[in-house]
Amino acid sequence: PVSIGMSLDIASIDTISEINMDYTATIFLRQRWTDERLCFDGNKSLSLDGRLVEMLWVPDTFIVDSKRSFLHDVTVENRLIRIYPNGTVLYAIRITTTVSCSMDLTKYPMDKQTCTLQLESCKS
């Protein structure tokens, strides 16, 4: 098994829709793992063009309860791939996602809602 470290920063919560029972947020997702096949001699990391991600193994991470999501691509895809001499890979992307959130509005306007943002990974 491969151990994957993750961090997630919420850049913005763009909309909350009581009618659609969802919210839209822009997030920065960073994942880090080690792939020994990518080890190289040197003492500096390599930053790769985001288009090269198709040539690497990356975790199959998805957002639970996402209705729709997209990766930002202005002016180029907002992806960072950095490989360190020991084979550690840093993969970072910017995503905007709309996620379901079941809300109980029976006490509106004195209600309080809790919406989650969960990430999972498929096993393959």
Tell me the DSSP string of 16-61: EETTTTEEEEEEEEEEEEE-GGG--SSSS-EEE-GGGGGGS----E
Q: Is residue 66 part of a domain?
A: yes
The confidence band for 123, taking pLDDT boundaries of 50, 70 and 90, is low
Q: Is the model's pLDDT at 7 over the cut of 60?
A: yes
Mean predicted lDDT score pLDDT of the chain: 92
Domain that holds residue 66: 4-101
Q: Is residue 119 part of a domain?
A: no
Instruction: Kindly state the tokens that stand for 76.
Output: 């180029």
Q: Is the model's pLDDT at 4 over the cut of 90?
A: yes
Give residue-wise pLDDT tens across range 52-109.
888 999 999 999 999 999 998 888 788 999 999 999 999 999 999 999 999 998 888 8
Q: What percent of the chain has pLDDT over 90?
A: 73
Residue 1, pLDDT score? 81
Q: Is residue 112 part of a domain?
A: no
Where residue 12 sits, what CATH number does that domain have?
2.70.170.10
Residue 38, pLDDT score? 95
